Amino acid sequence: MSRIGKQPILLPAKVKVEVKGQRVLVEGPKGKLNWDLPGRVGAKVDNGQVHVTRQGDDAQAKSLHGLSRALLNNMVRGVSEGFVKKLEIHGVGFKAAVQGKSITMSLGYSHPVVYPIPDQIKVTVDENTKVTIEGPDRQMVGQVASELRSFYPPEPYKGKGVRYSDERVIRKEGKTVQ
């Protein structure tokens, strides 16, 4: 049996999980999430725990079992605690600002980069260079952070660009004239 899939998911006090056929609805203080289980995986709620089960014993069923349990656990954690990604902007004149439902970034291009913020995601900017992305959906938070970083990834010579707050950029030495 899957080592991850067989572990029950403990539900915090304010989180409600409802299973309707293959559809799982998770509701908590940070928001609501829903997801459709794969066909060979089932889930049931009892005594404040969610148990994930599988039909079949082949490799695909085993991998879907562990995946489904991990995704459900992330949904429960997301609606109770939420997920956070932090970005830093390095470079002279590089800055960001939130305007309504979009973030505008000046990254040295001839035009500002405008990115629409998806629903359920909260983006805040501190000191014009520190961007914080928060939300209940782990995949969506990571996707937004990745897309913002992709507008100007950190370059190795001067270290300019958008990077994760815990990312280390290994600097290279430039050319020397002989």
The pLDDT-based confidence of 81 (bands split at 50, 70, 90) is very high
* Structural domains in the chain, sorted by start: 9-80 (3.90.930.12), 83-164 (3.90.930.12)
Q: In this predicted model, what pLDDT tens digit does every residue of 12-36 receive, in sequence order? A: 989 999 999 889 999 999 999 999 9
Strands 113-116 and 122-126: unpaired
**Cα–Cα separations (whole angstroms), residue 52 to 8, 43, 83, 104, 113:** 7, 4, 23, 42, 43
Mention every residue, 6+ apart, whose C-beta is less than 8 A from residue 70: 4
Its pTM stands at 0.88
